[in-house]
């Protein structure tokens, strides 16, 4: 259910690509609850909807759009650290195999890396690369060389 009050014909504030200002615009087109095209009430120019000035940063513009269109997406990805701990739960580091590029590792295996510490293989990217979760984040390692 779209509960947003904004609809084609509504007036919204948008960055005008011609006036180079945030001005009142009229909504021309929407996809789901998201404004896609607007026209500037000042210069009548049509362009893509942009809630913030470009200099405010892509992040700010994205956050604004997200808030308007998808209020449910409040929490982003879980911190890497807790994901790693979940993967490691109930397992002991002494089961870890020492990492070497000549060895092959399967998803789910624990590995012991001389630099990064204990890691969990979370996936095989292709025949020579594996994704491994380490305490400080995810890395791509070579295997089976
Ligand atoms: Zn304009």
pLDDT at 84 over 50: yes
pLDDT at 15 over 90: yes
105-131 residue pLDDT tens: 999 999 999 999 999 999 999 889 999
In the chain, where the domains are located: 11-69, 80-142
pLDDT grade for 71, boundaries at 50, 70 and 90: low
Gap from CA of 53 to ligand 1 centroid (Å): 13
Structure-token pair, residue 98:
């020492």
| Long-range contact set of residues 81-88: C-beta below 8 Å, sequence gap at least 24 | 81/135, 83/133, 84/120, 84/133, 84/134, 84/135, 87/120, 87/122, 87/133, 88/118, 88/120
Residues 58 and 4: their CA atoms lie apart, in Å, by: 23
Gap from CA of 137 to ligand 1 centroid (Å): 45
Strands 110-113 and 97-98: parallel
Gap from CA of 45 to ligand 1 centroid (Å): 6
């Amino acid at each position: 259910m779209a509960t947003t009050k904004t609809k084609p014909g509504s007036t919204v504030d948008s960055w005008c690509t011609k006036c180079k200002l945030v001005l009142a615009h009229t909504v021309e087109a929407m996809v789901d609850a998201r404004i896609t095209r607007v026209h500037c009430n000042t210069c009548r120019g049509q362009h893509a909807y942009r809630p913030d000035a470009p200099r405010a940063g892509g992040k700010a513009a994205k956050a604004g759009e997200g808030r308007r269109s998808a209020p449910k997406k409040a929490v982003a990805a879980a911190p890497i650290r807790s994901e790693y701990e979940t993967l490691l739960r109930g397992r002991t580091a002494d089961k870890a195999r020492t990492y070497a590029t000549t060895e092959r590792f399967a998803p789910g295996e624990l590995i012991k890396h001389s630099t990064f510490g204990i890691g969990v293989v979370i996936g095989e990217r292709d025949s020579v690369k594996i994704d491994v979760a380490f305490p400080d984040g995810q890395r791509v390692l070579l295997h089976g060389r």
